[in-house]
Structure 1
Amino acid sequence: MRRFVRDNSLTLFFLGILLLALVGQALSGWHEYNNQALVQSGAEISLLRYLSSSQFGVDVAENWQSEYLQFFLYIFMTVWLLQRGSPESKSPGRAGEESDQDQHVGRHATGGSPRWAAIGGLRGAVFARSLGLAMGLIFLASWLAQSIAGRVAYNAEQLADYQDPVSWTGYVTSADFWNRTLQNWQSEFLAVASMAAFSIYLRQRGSPESKPVGTSHEATGIEG
């Protein structure tokens, strides 16, 4: 068990703080929801009911979809786009999917290569892009979940104000939906751009996300 924790500590750490953040969000959101209900002379609800509500669902989904969009775009864009001096970028001249020899696929696969890397064909092509595809599919699923939960929450407010509810199509083309969505997207895009640029000139000793402390600012694609 100790070895498992050590070998997977990075993933376990972030899953742990994810759980803590979700618990904190659930409790704070529940209290805020009930506070608003009291102000509006409504009835308080239980924590379990809040967790199954569209309000909680849309708040979680809209954050998840923006995060996975960030990774989806980052994974695919770093294939073709470069940032000189950043460890987050490939070196100038290496833009593109690279050769089979560089990627150890097909006849260039090694003994330790995954089986689908050596197979080639459709399975090999899918496996060669499976990380980006997985991020893209999770983004689409969470975006869909956000749109469905958001519509339910939006229509609840519409009915409370004696206004007509909207269809799913009407909601995903509404200002409310895109206001929620773009608020999250812009922060993710800023974070990625900042990381790519700051890592040119700043260092974090021992981190693979940073160049070694003494490496030139011009060095590209070198990690600590």
Structure 2
Amino acid sequence: MSRIKDNALSLTFLVLFLLSLAGQALAGMLHYNEQQLVEGGEAVSFLTYVTSSSFAVDVAENWQSEYLQFLLFIMLTIWMVQRGSPESKEPGREGAESDEEQRIGPYAEADSPAWARVKGWRLRLYSNSLGLAMGTVFLLSWLAQSVAGQAAYNSERLADLRDPIGWSAYVTSPEFWDRSLQNWQSELLAVLSMVVLSIYLRQRGSPESKPVGAPHSATDVSG
């Protein structure tokens, strides 16, 4: 039970993610089958739908926008600050910070990760591993979206008796960028709202909020 309690936040979000993904798949299949029947086509099974390009592109385009949000937030907060926001470092601390502040190399502690105590490429890799992981997932999901999106788009074109297009033509098409940018703008607005609203508003007990009594100008503090 202690292990579950110690990991309750990640486990809860994992369950919510799986439930929402299953719900999206079910609702998406029902919607897809409605369209198929209207257009004179045949309904498909749940397994057929979740392995289709239509489902893959919907999932991938959401994932790539989310990981783009995280990647930008992680990287931009290294060099940019927002006075008063708990999501920002204090003004004057811009940059990658010193080895002592980061507790790496000779300043590593006994329980520091092993690669934080070494030098060379392993330290450089581990020092940027979070951004690299987010960037890799973003690029892979972007690629998956482009491939699945091309397949789904070409299916629509063939149904309309139009010629299919290649991958490069698809990723430069209005269809692809309309799907991408409508997700990007919502994610960027969410980050902007979190950064700015957390200056003036509070949520007692949340590490994403400043303490209720903290002044609006307090930066890099959490409740």
TM-score (norm 2): 0.99
- Does residue 174 of the first structure (1) align with residue 177 of the second (2)? no
Deviations 1:109-160 (A, max 9, x none): 1111111111121110110010011000000000000000000000000000
Counterpart-to-counterpart distance in 2, 1:44 and 1:183:
29
Residue 96 of structure 2 corresponds to residue 106 of structure 1: no
Q: What's the offset of the Cα at 1:86?
A: 0.2
Instruction: Work out the CA distance in 2 between the residues paired with 1:67 and 1:79.
Output: 19
1:24-35 equivalences in 2 (<5 Å) = 24-35=23-34
Mapped to 2, the partners of 1:212 and 1:170 lie a distance apart of 51
Give the match for residue 14 of structure 2: 15
Q: Deviations over 1:73-98 (max 9, x none)?
A: 10011000000000000001000000
Aligned residues: 223
SS in 1 for 2:150: helix
Displacement of 1:3: 1.2
> Separation in 2 of the partners of 1:36 and 1:152?
18
Which consecutive aligned stretches of 4+ in structure 1 deviate over 2 angstroms post-superposition? none
Q: Secondary structure at the match of 1:154?
A: helix
Q: Does 2:63 align with 1:64?
A: yes
Rounded Cα–Cα distance in structure 2 between residues aligned with 1:120 and 1:139: 28
The letter for the 2-side match of 1:104 is: R
| Unpaired runs of at least 5, structure 1 | none
Map of 2:118 onto structure 1 = 119
**RMSD of aligned C-alpha atoms?**
0.5
Percent same amino acid among aligned pairs? 60
Displacement of 1:22: 0.6
Q: What is the correspondence of 1:8-157 to structure 2 with a 5 Å cutoff?
A: 8-157=7-156
Task: In structure 2, give the amino acid aligned to 1:187.
Answer: S
Residue 36 of structure 1 aligns to a residue in which SS?
helix
Corresponding residue for 2:195?
Answer: 196
For structure 2, the 5+ residue unaligned runs are: none
What whole-Å deviation, never above 9, does each CA across 1:30-72 have from its counterpart, x for those lacking one? 0000000010011111111001000000000000000000001
SS in 2 for 1:50: helix
